[in-house]
Amino acid sequence: MKPLLVTMGDAVGIGPEIIVRAFERGELRDALVVGDPAVLRRAGAPMTAVVEHAADLAAVPPGCLPLLAPPGLPTGLAELPWGRIDARCGAAAARCIEHAVALVRSGEASAIVTAPIHKEALAAAGVPYPGHTEMLQALATEAGAAPPPVRMMLANDELRVVLVTIHLALRRAIDAVTFDAVLQTLRIGHRAAAAWGQERPRIAVAGLNPHAGEGGLFGDEELRIIGPAVQAAVAEGIDASGPYAPDTVFMRARHASGHAGEFDLVVAMTHDHGLIPVKYLGVEQGVNVTLGLPFVRTSPDHGTAFDIAGRGTADPASLIAALAMARRLAAAA
């Protein structure tokens, strides 16, 4: 199998550290890190081996962290103070993502696992995307073509949630909940489920308003938009139902010991509606998956954790889960 690519994330966040911790546990045996060698050494890598091509992974000596260093990285990243927003870190993170996408699209790698980036650092660097999802969508778009429709999914062993809207102010996100957006999310989630072995997943759709609008008493989006989109999806053969009250549907869908979930996937209308339940179950096992891309991309479900960066205490569990998920999805692609 072709190697995975792991982008280093923000140079002064916990991304480099959790990469090194995962490497020490033997979890990067089939992976190359796309990043700055000095940054990874500062994060604790005992030895690094810089290669020019993904195919060179097999020649890396045991005990060396294999690295691809993209051209054009800012200098002096390893001298920057931990845990502070810096445009140079935003520019470096973006450059690593661009390089990784170019490699996976050329067929040199099997998937991308991205360490956390800082959205303010990206903005300071002039990167015109609010996060990974939007940037990857743009990089996956052929010249002159429409961007592929993509969605964020956060998943762990107990719950999988796909979002209709992502990084938008809540006032804008509500306006972005349209019939087409909900139906498209249902289609993307339905198709993606085949990659983890569910040809016809049971999809629950969470409402937008309290009690899913209570028949229009607390908002009519469920009646005008969400419900009709669910009905349209069902007409296409998708096993979708709802909209359900968003304060209870996640409990119903959760697969836990002694509790078989009623659903395989939940579609949520906004970022926090959908991600809070998954993260509450434990960020150490959560994985962010971008659905709809022409390649596999996963990431940990946490951020840069500037408050603990450089202390040597960051837990690599979510990154390790993201690596495992990327392997499964790439093998099924």
Q: Residues 25-44: pLDDT tens digits? A: 999 999 999 999 999 999 99
Give the pLDDT confidence score for residue 46 in this predicted structure: 86
How far is the C-alpha of 47 from the C-alpha of 111, rounded, in Å?
24
Q: What share of the chain is helix, strand, coil (3-state, %, to 5)?
A: 40, 15, 45
Mean pLDDT rounded to a whole number for the chain: 94
Q: Which CATH superfamily is domain 1-149+296-333 in?
A: Isopropylmalate Dehydrogenase (3.40.718.10)
1-149+296-333 and 157-281 have identical folds:
yes
Prediction pTM value: 0.92
Calculate the CA 268 to chain-centre distance. 16
If 0-12 CB within 10 Å is exposed, 13-18 middle and 19+ buried, where does residue 307 land?
exposed
Task: Give the distance between the most distant pair of CA atoms in the chain.
Answer: 66
What are the residue ranges in the chain where pLDDT is below 50? none
CA dihedral 228, 232, 233, 237 (to 10 degrees): 140
CA distance 292 to 245: 27
Q: What's the pLDDT score for residue 143? A: 86
Phi, psi of 113 (to 5 degrees): -120, 120
Domain boundaries, the chain: 1-149+296-333, 157-281
Please give the CATH superfamily to which domain 157-281 belongs.
Answer: Isopropylmalate Dehydrogenase (3.40.718.10)
Closest CA to 213 of 201, 228, 223, 203: 223
